Chain A
Amino acid sequence: MTQLILLNIFNGLVIGAFYALMALGLSLIINLTNVINFAHGGFLAVGAYLAYTLQPYLGFWGALVVSPFLTALLGIVVERVLIRPLYSRDPLYSLLLTFGLAFVIQDSVRMIWGAQGLPVQVPQALQSALSSTLFFLTGYRVFMVVLVAVVVAALFLILKKTRLGMRIRAGTLDLEMVSALGVDVRILRNLNFGLGIFFAGLAGVLAAGMLGLTPTIGDQLIMPSFVAVIVGGLGSLVGTLFGGLLIGVAAGVVTVFFPSASEATIYVMMALVLLFRPYGLFGEEGGTKL
């Protein structure tokens, strides 16, 4: 029984790491621009499929590195062309836009790469288990958790130490102020969006290795990432990180006892948070303009 619980907690942690990765990207975008990116799952799919296409040329590792950047580039173009015109309007419109965009991206992916699932090659080195007792610690899963940890740490470093990072943090608090100080807010929003999409793309590459590659891969992960943002608290990146891990582990634990309810767990958690502590575990009242 302990093995089973441990197995599920670890799996939960792995899934939670995904949710956190996606959710951090979402969070970055929401915090700075109030845009709720329903298309985040679509970008995840793009990241996964680009990696698949690049793999024959660049190998697994090359694709892993390059694909998120390309996806981020796509994000930058999308932000510039489709989202920028909507900042001055009611937030409903950007929400609707990203919603419609989600369909467009998903179907584009299907048109380009086909509706069937595609095989994903994971390097030999990562496939085997690391220990015979803790057999579920396959190399790939451990690798994913480690990679996510590294990337998240890098994100927090970027935000703390670089000029871009500091501007993003300042902009999250008061965008007008930042603009008044001479920063080009349009470029800031644009790069911030790209950064958020980078995370989606990376999540996509990693997810494909674990869940398989189909056009609906984004659908499975998008809602939990929203839940992670809500549970953690809008406006708090640490909260989002924590939220993602928490719901992943919670869903994992629930699976042990009520296997069919694990998906519902996530929504129940979101509902509970929204009813009793709408600002999330780490959020503050009035923390966001939303």
Chain B
Amino acid sequence: MNTRNLVLGALLWLLLLTVPLWVVAAGGYTDLASRVLVIGLAALATNLLVGHSGVMAFGHAAYFGISAYATGLVMKHLVPSTPVGLLAGIVVGTAGGAVIGYLLARLRGIYFALATIAFGQVFFFIAFRWNAVTGGDNGLTFQRLPIDFGLGQLNLTSSTVYYYFVLAVFALCAALMAVLLRSPFGHTLLAMRENERRARFLGIPVNRHLWIAYTVSCLFVSVAGALYGLLNNFVNPHDLHWTQSGDFVLMAVIGGMRSFWGPLLGAAIFVVAQDSLSSITDNWMFYIGLIFVLVVLFLPRGIAGLLQRRTA
């Protein structure tokens, strides 16, 4: 890793660690920063498939959402504990991903893309219709709770404390994803993206690796989902809709599919724009859509790609 990357990295982490100090002055608020990280994690997870494996995953919001619901439901009705809730969310989301991924692994191209949407929508309808459990369109409200360590307490109800909690989880997940992508397994995903036939003829069982990648990607998106539910103390069916899935892909593309941090950058742009523009204009989505179209046409490597080229 060269000096430039190290310096940029250090700067990035410095910024992230001091957010509560400067975010209000910059016109935002702490929860917004938390949201950027959480959504960014979801985008990074989605990009494991889209950017790194070359797989068109358009239904990831489903696992994002069911994880949030599981977290909320467990905390509300079973065990009023944040760690248990988080764990429940992650397990449910990952399990869902593993099952659906197994079914999808044989499909490719448009069939795969549409299947991810179809399955995602089934989950959406369950969340929407199963009023008794999910609260239907009204959503599910619950409360994130402080974590008791016996000697002390991590007061997660505070926005600032929760932000650092999210940052820690985010950092851990990002590190794991980075290690994964540089590993021999990660290389096989790269191979599948570049030339599936050659990957197969090197001995890679492509369908199985696709399933594993899908499951791992859903694991990280579930973490994001659980954190998201806890952030808002609320989940609603829209969080599972295919347009939300599309948003994750959108962020990955705008930020840069082929770069590791691209999706986080895309998520930052999206979330901040959504927050600041939506109060000014009802049509903020139009501008995002426009940027997206321009990026697809002219900047296939996204903004990260542009920055990489400039300094190369």
- Verify whether A and B have any Cβ pair under 8 Å: yes
Binding site for B on A (CB under 8 A): 30, 36, 82, 85-86, 89, 91-93, 95-97, 99-104, 106-108, 110-111, 115, 223, 226-227, 230, 234, 260-261, 263-264, 267-268, 270-271, 274-275, 278, 290
The closest CB in chain A to the CB of B247 belongs to A103
* CA–CA, A73 and B249, complex, Å: 30
Question: What are 18 A-B interface contacts by the 8 Å CB criterion?
Answer: A92-B56, A99-B246, A100-B290, A102-B289, A103-B286, A104-B290, A104-B293, A106-B285, A107-B283, A111-B286, A230-B114, A263-B125, A264-B126, A267-B118, A267-B122, A270-B114, A274-B118, A275-B103
Q: Does B117 make an interface contact (CB < 8 A)?
A: yes
Q: What chain A residues lie within 8 Å of B13 (beta carbons)?
A: none
Q: Does A36 lie within 8 Å of B110, measured CB to CB?
A: yes
Q: Does B286 lie within 8 Å of A107, measured CB to CB?
A: yes
Q: How far is the CB of B259 from chain A (nearest CB, A)?
A: 16
Q: Does B286 lie within 8 Å of A234, measured CB to CB?
A: no
Chain B residues touching A, majority SS: helix
| Besides A100-B293, A223-B117, A267-B125, 14 other A-B contacts (C-beta < 8 A) | A82-B297, A99-B249, A103-B292, A223-B242, A230-B111, A263-B125, A264-B122, A264-B126, A267-B118, A267-B121, A270-B118, A274-B107, A274-B114, A278-B106
* CA–CA, A268 and B114, complex, Å: 12
Q: Does B216 make an interface contact (CB < 8 A)?
A: no
Q: Does B113 lie within 8 Å of A36, measured CB to CB?
A: yes
Q: Does B119 make an interface contact (CB < 8 A)?
A: yes
Q: Does A260 lie within 8 Å of B111, measured CB to CB?
A: no
* CA–CA, A260 and B136, complex, Å: 12
Q: Does B288 make an interface contact (CB < 8 A)?
A: yes
Q: What chain A residues lie within 8 Å of B92 (beta carbons)?
A: none
Q: What chain A residues lie within 8 Å of B113 (beta carbons)?
A: 36, 95
* CA–CA, A89 and B257, complex, Å: 15
The closest CB in chain B to the CB of A114 belongs to B282
Which 9 pairs across A and B sit closest by C-beta, in order of nearness?
A103-B289, A107-B286, A100-B292, A104-B289, A290-B109, A270-B118, A264-B125, A100-B293, A274-B115
Q: What chain B residues lie within 8 Å of A93 (beta carbons)?
A: 296, 300
* CA–CA, A111 and B300, complex, Å: 28
Q: How far is the CB of B81 from chain A (nearest CB, A)?
A: 33
* CA–CA, A36 and B115, complex, Å: 14
Q: What chain B residues lie within 8 Å of A100 (beta carbons)?
A: 250, 289-290, 292-293, 296
Q: How far is the CB of A145 from chain B (nearest CB, A)?
A: 27
Q: What chain A residues lie within 8 Å of B114 (beta carbons)?
A: 226-227, 230, 270, 274
